[in-house]
Structure 1
């Protein structure tokens, strides 16, 4: 049995015109290329719907299909049961604890003759599929924020030199409401990366449950499908806010579709609108970016009929955790206490209790303080140094009266130097005497003595004598003297002798 061909609305209109013009059903079928029974069936539908020719001018194809096929269960046309406002249900579904079953029960309470549960779910999912890719993902309010840098940069002009420096664009998008934050920073380095997170949470006035970053090196040391390794400083920031970090999986673009779509939108709404403006400072650029971000958040989402800001205020903000005090950026490093019971950071030395000599410690550096931790306990704290003396020493960390401690003492260093020669011993004594505390010179003395291991005693003594002569008591200065003297010795040994011994040469006696 041949399958019935589905008629277009144009063919149905022609069928009605011909029928009311006196043309038979058989002739109409021949003209349209369909069976006479199909013509009779559709003319019967038109009669039941009260349709005559000519049709009203305002009757659209959708309205015509609805009147002809309302009772047939055809896919096109009006549905027979009362439908809810699907966009409102999508918003409700983002709230914590709300499920399709709850929404269906509330719908049936208002409309007892409404759709059954399975049909209700099918229609709601169908509406979700018609939304944008990022809106289709089911994100619970307060659950995730997606963060990344835009691939495009914003040029900022130095007013003095006219040189253009490009700034990075950081973008964060909340999962449920699409509420967007963006700002410019000079780099993608760790301080700027963490600083942008701090300002983003302040902008949201709350903290979601998870951060979903791309596998940026500033935040993720090692990308992994199952167990990504976070940068420790980034992890401490997350711990301060009580938020988890779930990096997007490598080569899984759907994991970060939300932020990538937000980044594209931000590029057009921010960079596109600001392309003809000239900025002379980062603050000036960020002021303009804030205005562009407000336009993004106040833009009406076409399918939902509400703005991102409305979704944020009504759905997302109540689900965010409370915002603690702003996190102060701190860099964490592994360090090892030297024989002088000091650890080094950025060219300066900070003391630890002398019992930790050669122990590995954790060093936490902020713009104001240097803290040292050993096995999870803080053992030292110093004000960070940017100038002046290179050593910061807490007297409580020193051995009592500089007595011998551990394996090292000034006397042991002097005895070691004496085995090389008196000049070397004098250099060690001078280095120790030139420091506020003898222990501050231990590193220098050890470096010098280990440098002399590769030299003959006569060479080491010559280097020490020259260092004492010019007052060079730093390791680099002593090493430079050793290099210069080695180069001078090499030049001397490679110069040819003035007289070459040879059997054919006449001696001085020949001329007497």
Structure 2
């Protein structure tokens, strides 16, 4: 609002209209019109304190009978929804509004006023609220927008390296690490290293809506946390609350830190050349140390001092072992009650033949789940493909009995029947290159005792031995 009181005061002191316009500030024409109007109404300085600028404006320029409030106001709620549709503009909506006013006989707003009220409504809805965070409560994570660069020592090719950023919401204490890609392994590894750097775990983890964190199975409004990411959060005892889609203010500290890191780390290293990811991360570590130790401009201390003194004591302790990245796959149990993964075969209880099971694979172990219940666990196999890891308890009973058969058992069985039978069975077992090839022959021979009697079998074996 124009400062009418100041214009009249400066005029009473003998200032020119040009100087008054520079001091207030306003245009010279405005000063001229105000002074002329005040002279017509015999209004001069000094003025009473009750005569404010608003009251003075009412005296100088009284509103006519056709007040703005008598005009038909547009439905701002409906307009806001319509503007979200493709092709709908303010000009189109104003034309429709004018037609509506013509049909109802209402006094319409002009286009500039129409747009002014829409803009005011938008500004009200863009109001933000500062939420005070408690120490050790929340950490925000994201990928930085500007990548760093690595030079391939063999080809000279420039390779982009993506920066992971983790920020404690209360102290703004940051962690930064470079990775060759933004895939799940890099995402999980970054979190493991971040918690080790912080020396503890915050209660809440706020990630962006990247695919490695959130699965949009039913659209943007039906989000599910990625299975591996959720498992990692359970390991560290933290809760994941993803930021809303296209709502950067849900993680303002990460967004602000991304900009600062782009300046103080990425841009600060722009003139240096790195030939490996390890070299780049070593340089980032040095810059990050200085970044966290830098003093705040508008409050006391630094990110490091605030984190060390107020946040670190409140963080939950790290688990005994760091999280081991797991790969999840789905497999079908074959008729031989095994599943095949990476060329190796692992046994499953035979009751689950032809069932689909979920498999969790780490570097050392392989776990099998059915309906979220673990039904098998194996040490992971490496080396020649086609190896079997079979647990006897997973086999049907008749298959388990088959495993009990071996050469010694056949010999003991034959020895109980007769000495000649024992010598024949032993000769059959040693005649084959692989002992198992003789099992059927031995079984067939010993079964003859049930059919023809032990005495006849013993006599037959004695006669057979006489020929050999």
Question: TM class by shorter-chain length?
Answer: 0.5 to 0.7
Partner in structure 2 of residue 398 of structure 1: 395
TM-score normalised by structure 2 residue count: 0.57
CA contact (8 A) 1:382 1:392 kept: no
Partner in structure 1 of residue 138 of structure 2: 144
Deviation at 1:136, TM superposition (A): 4.7
Partner in structure 2 of residue 235 of structure 1: 230
1:199 to 188, 193, 204: 193
Instruction: Indicate yes or no: 2:305 matched with 1:310.
Output: yes
Partner in structure 1 of residue 111 of structure 2: none
TM-score normalised by structure 1 residue count: 0.53
CA contact (8 A) 1:148 1:172 kept: yes
CA contact (8 A) 1:134 1:258 kept: no
SS where residue 46 of structure 2 aligns? helix
Partner in structure 2 of residue 161 of structure 1: 155
Q: Find the aligned partners of 1:326 and 1:4 in 2 and give their Cα distance.
A: 70
Give CA deviations for 1:429-451 in whole Å, capped at 9, x if unaligned. Answer: xxxxxxxx9xxxxxxxxxxxxxx
SS where residue 37 of structure 1 aligns? coil
Instruction: Indicate yes or no: 2:33 matched with 1:37.
Output: no
Give CA deviations for 1:117-151 in whole Å, capped at 9, x if unaligned. Answer: xxxxxxxxxxxxxxxx9995422222211111112
Q: Find the aligned partners of 1:343 and 1:143 in 2 and give their Cα distance.
A: 43
CA contact (8 A) 1:134 1:257 kept: no
CA contact (8 A) 1:29 1:36 kept: no
Q: How many residues align?
A: 299
SS where residue 167 of structure 2 aligns? strand
Q: Find the aligned partners of 1:387 and 1:134 in 2 and give their Cα distance.
A: 58
Q: Find the aligned partners of 2:128 and 2:325 in 1 and give their Cα distance.
A: 32
Q: Find the aligned partners of 1:148 and 1:351 in 2 and give their Cα distance.
A: 41
Deviation at 1:156, TM superposition (A): 1.6
1:289 to 265, 284, 291: 284
Deviation at 1:162, TM superposition (A): 2.9
Instruction: Indicate yes or no: 2:339 matched with 1:339.
Output: no
Partner in structure 2 of residue 96 of structure 1: none
Give CA deviations for 1:202-230 in whole Å, capped at 9, x if unaligned. Answer: 11111111111111111111175554211
CA-based RMSD of the aligned residues comes to 3.3
Deviation at 1:174, TM superposition (A): 1.1
Q: Can you give the 5+ residue segments of structure 1 that lack an aligned partner in the other structure?
A: 16-24, 42-132, 406-436, 438-512
CA contact (8 A) 1:182 1:289 kept: yes
Partner in structure 1 of residue 207 of structure 2: 213
Deviation at 1:282, TM superposition (A): 1.3
Q: Find the aligned partners of 2:309 and 2:147 in 1 and give their Cα distance.
A: 33
Q: Find the aligned partners of 2:128 and 2:192 in 1 and give their Cα distance.
A: 25
Q: Find the aligned partners of 2:396 and 2:232 in 1 and give their Cα distance.
A: 36
CA contact (8 A) 2:134 2:170 kept: yes
CA contact (8 A) 1:134 1:261 kept: no
Partner in structure 2 of residue 101 of structure 1: none
Alignment of 1:51-70 (within 5 A): none
CA 215–404 in structure 1, closer or farther in 2 if over 3 Å, else same: farther
Partner in structure 2 of residue 322 of structure 1: 317
Q: Find the aligned partners of 2:166 and 2:330 in 1 and give their Cα distance.
A: 31
1:382 to 369, 378, 385: 378
SS where residue 334 of structure 1 aligns? strand
Q: Find the aligned partners of 1:403 and 1:140 in 2 and give their Cα distance.
A: 60
Deviation at 1:184, TM superposition (A): 0.6
Deviation at 1:361, TM superposition (A): 2.0
CA 4–383 in structure 1, closer or farther in 2 if over 3 Å, else same: same
Q: Find the aligned partners of 1:369 and 1:359 in 2 and give their Cα distance.
A: 21
SS where residue 195 of structure 1 aligns? helix
Deviation at 1:239, TM superposition (A): 0.6
Instruction: Indicate yes or no: 2:363 matched with 1:367.
Output: yes
Deviation at 1:231, TM superposition (A): 1.1
Partner in structure 2 of residue 462 of structure 1: none
Deviation at 1:355, TM superposition (A): 2.1
CA 142–27 in structure 1, closer or farther in 2 if over 3 Å, else same: closer
CA 358–301 in structure 1, closer or farther in 2 if over 3 Å, else same: same
Partner in structure 2 of residue 427 of structure 1: none
Q: Can you give the 5+ residue segments of structure 2 that lack an aligned partner in the other structure?
A: 21-34, 36-43, 50-126, 403-435, 437-468
